[in-house]
Amino acid sequence: MRLPYKWRRRFRNQWRNITSFPIRFGIFLALLAGVLWASNKYIPRQHLPWRSLDMRAPTGFATDMQILRVSLSPSSTCAKLIESVSDYQTRAADPHRPKSTPCGWSVAREIDLSEAAVLKPQDVTMQCPLAVGTYVWMREMDKAASKHLGSGIKKIQHAGSYSCRKQVGNSSGQWSEHSYANAFDVMGFELDDGRVVSVLKDWNGDKDRKRFLRDARKQACKIFRVTLSPDFNAAHADHFHVDMGPTTTCR
C-alpha cells in the first residue's frame, strides 16, 4: 500500500537529517558489492562482461565483450589464454610484413586442429583474438550440428584467413580484414557421418540444414565483431565471413 504523501515527505526529511552523504554512499557501495558477489557466484561467467573469457564455456550475453577485452589487451594475454586450452593446437607465427602494402601481421597464431573439428585445409594463420573466437565458434557449431542434423562436425571447409587485398562486394576501396589475417571465410562443414553441409547449396535448402546454418550465424554474431552471411550480399552467397575488425555487423 502506498504511504500518504506527507508521510513519505517526512520520511525523506528524516533520512536526510540522520544520514550524511558518506554513510549513504557507504550503504550504496555495500549493496553494489553484494550484487557483484551474488552475480559472480550464481550467474555463469559468459554472461558477465567483467569476468575473463572461458574458451570452453558456451556463448553468452558477454562473450563478444570478453573477447574484445582480449583483443585490447597485450598480445601476451591472448597467447597465454589460447595456450591454456589443451585440445587446440596452435603456435606463434613468424611476423609477416610485405613491402609497399599495409598487409601482414606482427603477432599471429598458426592453427593446426581442434578437438571440436579439423580445419580443411589445415595450417591457417590468423590474429590471436580471431583464433580464440574461431575455437569458441567451432565448439558451438559442433553442438548445433548434433542438435539439428544428428551428427557432430568432423571438418570445417574454409577459404582461409590471410589474403592481401581490398574488400570485395562494395566500392569502399578499403583494405579487407583478410589483409591482416583478421578475418576467416567458412564455406561448409563435413559431418562425422560423412554428409557435407554447404553454405552455397544449403542456405535455402533442406529445413534441417537451413536451421543449422542459421544457428551457426547466430552463434558467430555472439563471438565475432563482424559476421556476414548469404543474406548480406551476393559476394557472400557461398560462405560465412567473420572478423575481429573495428566495426560491428551481424547480417
What are the CA-CA distances from residue 80 to residues 75, 76, 181 (Å)?
9, 6, 19
The pLDDT, as a whole number, for residue 75 is 95
- Between 63-72 and 128-149, two packed helices, what is the crossing angle to 10 degrees? 160
The pLDDT, as a whole number, for residue 39 is 78
The pLDDT, as a whole number, for residue 21 is 64
Per-residue pLDDT in tens (0 to 9) along the chain, 251 residues: 566 666 667 766 666 655 566 766 777 777 777 777 777 778 999 999 999 999 999 999 999 999 999 999 999 999 999 999 988 989 999 999 998 899 999 999 999 766 667 888 778 999 999 999 999 999 999 999 999 999 999 999 999 999 999 887 677 788 999 999 999 999 999 999 999 999 999 999 999 999 999 999 999 999 999 999 999 999 999 999 999 999 999 99
> 10 Å Cβ neighbour count for 29?
10
Residue with cell string 533442406:
206
The pLDDT, as a whole number, for residue 168 is 77
Each domain of the chain, given as residue ranges in start order, spans 75-250
Strand residue runs (E) in the chain: 88-92, 109-114, 118-120, 124-126, 153-158, 183-191, 196-198, 226-228, 240-243, 249-250
Type and span of the H or E element at 220: helix 207-221
Using a cut of 0.95, tell me whether the model's pTM lies above it: no
Spatial distance between the Cα atoms of 150 and 143, rounded to a whole number of angstroms: 10
Nearest to 198 by CA among 209, 208, 184, 183: 209
